[in-house]
Structures are given as C-alpha cells and as structure tokens.
Amino acid sequence: MHLNHQNPQPTKESPVNLQNLIDPAILFFVVGVLAGLLRSNLEIPPAISRFLSMYLLMALGLKGGFALAASGLNAQVAAGLGIAVTLAVLVPLLGFTILRRWVSGFDAAALAATYGSVSAVTFITATGHLDKIGVPYGGHMAAAMALMESPAIVLAVVLANRLRQQAQPAPGVVVSGGAAALAGPPGAGATDWRKLLHESFTDGSQLLLIGAMLVGLMTGEAGHTAMQPFSGDLFKGMLAFFLLDMGLMAARNLPGLRGRSPVLLAYGVLAPLLHASLAWALARAAGLSVGDTALLMTLAASASYIAVPAVVRYAIPEASPSLYFGLSLGLTFPLNLLLGIPLYAQVAQALG
C-alpha cells in the first residue's frame, strides 16, 4: 500500500507544464518571493512558522506510518532505505571534492553538508506533486528522508577538523572564530563531539517525524481514519501557508548571492541535477518503483537550509553563512520547487 490513494493512473506531464506551476501551494511560494522582493511588510511570525514546520513533519510521518502498517517491511523498503544512506554519504563527499577547487576547505565542507543533507519542505512538496499526478510511493520514504539528514553534517565536521589539524602547527592553538572546542589537542573536544553527534541524531524535527511514523505504524487503519481530518484534510492548506513563509525567506536570501563566482551559481543549479541522476541510477539498479525513485531523486537534489545552518554555524564558524544559506535557500530551493520536482517525476516515469 502506498501513501497515494487517489488518481491511480499516473499522468505524463512536461516539467514546465502550466498545470505544475498553478498548484496553489507553489503559487503561494511565488507570492512570498514577490512580496519579499517588493519589500512588503508581509511577515509570518517565527512561532507560527515553527508550528507549521512541526505540523507538516507530523502529518508526513503519520502518512508514512499508516502506509507502512498496510504494506509491511519488505525487500523494496530495505532497498530504498539502503540507497538513501548510500546517497547521504556519497553526495557530500562528491560535493567536497568538487568544491575544494573553487572555495576554501571550510566553505567546501559547509556546502557539502548543505547539499548532502535534505530539505523536508522540498520532499513534502514532491509528495504532493506525486499525489496530484497519480503516482504512488512508499510510506517508508519519510524514513529515508530522516536517515539522509545527519550523515552529511557529521562528515562535514570531520572534514573541517581535518583541515584545522593540517593548519595547526602545535596543540592548544585556538582557531579564529571561536572554534577552540573542536580544534584543541586530541581528547579535549570529546564532550563537544558527543554533544554534536547527539544534536545531529536527536534533532527535534527528526524525532517528531520518526515518532509520528511509529504512531501511524502502531495504529494502522484505525489511526488513519481517526487522524484523517488532521493529517489529510488540513495538509494542503498548511503546506501553502508554510510555502508562503519560505518564499519570503528565499527572497531575503537572494542578496547573499550577489558578487558570487559564476562557478558557485552554476553549482547551485547543476549539482542537484547530478545528485538526482546518481539517485536515479541507484534506484533503477535496485528496481524501485517510479514514485520511490522520484522521491529519492528529489531528496538527493535538495539542499538543507534548516538543520545544516543550525549546526554548521557553530561547528564550522570559518565558513560563510551567506554562501551556504544563500545558495541553498536563494537558488536551489526555488528551482527545485518550481522546476526540479516535476522534472524528477517525469524522468522517473519516462525512464522507470
């Protein structure tokens, strides 16, 4: 059983088909971008934005849990989760290797974490698009998203520590920017490492998503019926409201791209396509369904603008926040939302 219960026959759509662009939720994102560019006083209070984010993750987790309760665990589920973990390691390592040629090692590590981790909003929007065009997908893909969030962050911090050790002639030298806790002599930062790993793997958003999935898995069809008004009927409206706020945030971060190298801007556009292609190849080799393939492509192509900046700001202070935050939220996120998601879905359909 899959998350999608309507329109069982998939429909073929062009990546730039007008029907993809007039979805209410996507149009509210455009409204937010325009309002931000026009410097309107339109604003979503932070507390409301946080609530909307928690609602979307909770609803998505419940949907995934209900679907898993109906379908059960099988080889297809294991293959999808295995590919997700593989991508979570390969994408940041590939990104760091490429970016080291163009930016500092610390900026490369931060960008690798950003593009190696995932965007929950992009994923949620992709599930809505698949529902719209009638392409079913597995509930376990919500778990795949949770698995892909942390490995890139941990890898980036490991790479940054390696850079500090190479540049540090003697123990005890404090790294500029206040990163002494992660740059001291061996063993001095053990507590901070435990804290970092704890925060990476027990992030509240991930725990809410996984907890909601477990609730859905345990309650099954009865829970699905009881929660339908919450996790089903309200979902589209809440997503539209949240994307309005994301549009405002994207517009605010566009100035951070001014003066950046064309190579970096090209990376923000082309890297998601490369990562999506890698996901497609792995999913194709494993024989995954069209819907699961499209969602893995979306996850691989997305870039984090919440979890990664929250950790990297303190763990890699040498990196420029305007670079990794502006590139992910100001460029990659809008492109994925408006063009990438329908493109990945069509490629998965055409070549699946």
Each residue's pLDDT tens digit, 56-76: 888 888 887 887 787 777 888
Q: What percent of the chain has pLDDT over 90?
A: 36
Give the DSSP per-residue string, 307-335.
HHHHHHHHH-TTS-HHHHHHHIIIIIHHH
Burial of 83 (0-12, 13-18, 19+ CB in 10 A): buried
Q: DSSP 3-state assignment of 100?
A: coil
What distance in Å separates the CA atoms of residue 304 and residue 330, rounded to the nearest whole number?
12
Q: Which residues of the chain have pLDDT under 70?
A: 1-22, 168-203, 206, 310, 352
What per-residue confidence (pLDDT) applies to 186? 42
73 exposed, middle or buried (CB, 10 Å; 0-12, 13-18, 19+)? exposed
Res 201: pLDDT = 63
Give helix then strand counts, H and E, for the chain.
18, 0
Residue 309's pLDDT is 76
Q: Determine the pLDDT at residue 13.
A: 42
pLDDT at residue number 203: 64
Task: Among 3.40.1260.20, 3.10.20.340, 1.20.1530.20, 3.40.190.10, name the CATH number for the domain at 18-36+43-351.
Answer: 1.20.1530.20
In angstroms, the CA 25 to CA 48 distance is: 17
pLDDT at 83: 96
Rounded to whole angstroms, how far apart are CA atoms 109 and 114? Answer: 9
pLDDT tens track for 250-296: 888 777 777 778 999 999 999 999 999 999 999 999 999 999 999 99
Q: Of 269, 256, 224, nearest to 326 (Cα)?
A: 256
